[in-house]
Amino acid sequence: MNNQPKNPLHGVTLEQIIVELEQRLGWRTLGEQVKIKCFTDSPSIKSSLKFLRKTPWARDKVEALYIHTINNKPIRKPKSAPKETSSKAPDTTGFVWPSIKK
């Protein structure tokens, strides 16, 4: 038996990886992170498995995204994504209006 204690993908099937990523991120974010058609056009587990089993470079990207996701590392946003604007009101605690003297 081959022990791989430092391999985070040991014992995890490709189907489990896709299901986990879909539940955590959703198809839309998954398609933005890994730009492949099986995640953006009519996505499904079955079509994704079929494509990823035949395409090593895409599978490598999905596995890398999975490792980042399970380790709770921040995911790099695609460059084309719009910047988020802060909807929070600015912190005004301790602010004092200057006195206006004539």
d(CA 9, CA 15) in angstroms, rounded, equals: 12
Would 95 be classed as within a structural domain?
no
The boundaries of the domain holding residue 44 are 14-72
Would 9 be classed as within a structural domain?
no
How much is the pLDDT for 6?
79
d(CA 71, CA 65) in angstroms, rounded, equals: 10
- Claim: this prediction has a pTM higher than 0.85: no
- Using 50, 70 and 90 to split pLDDT, how confident is the model at 8? confident
Would 91 be classed as within a structural domain?
no
Would 79 be classed as within a structural domain?
no
How much is the pLDDT for 70?
83
- 73 token code pair: 């590392």
Tally of domains in the chain:
1
Would 32 be classed as within a structural domain?
yes
CA dihedral 8, 12, 13, 14 (to 10 degrees): -30
Would 88 be classed as within a structural domain?
no
21-76 pLDDT, tens per residue? 998 888 998 998 888 999 989 899 999 999 999 999 999 999 988 988 888 755 55
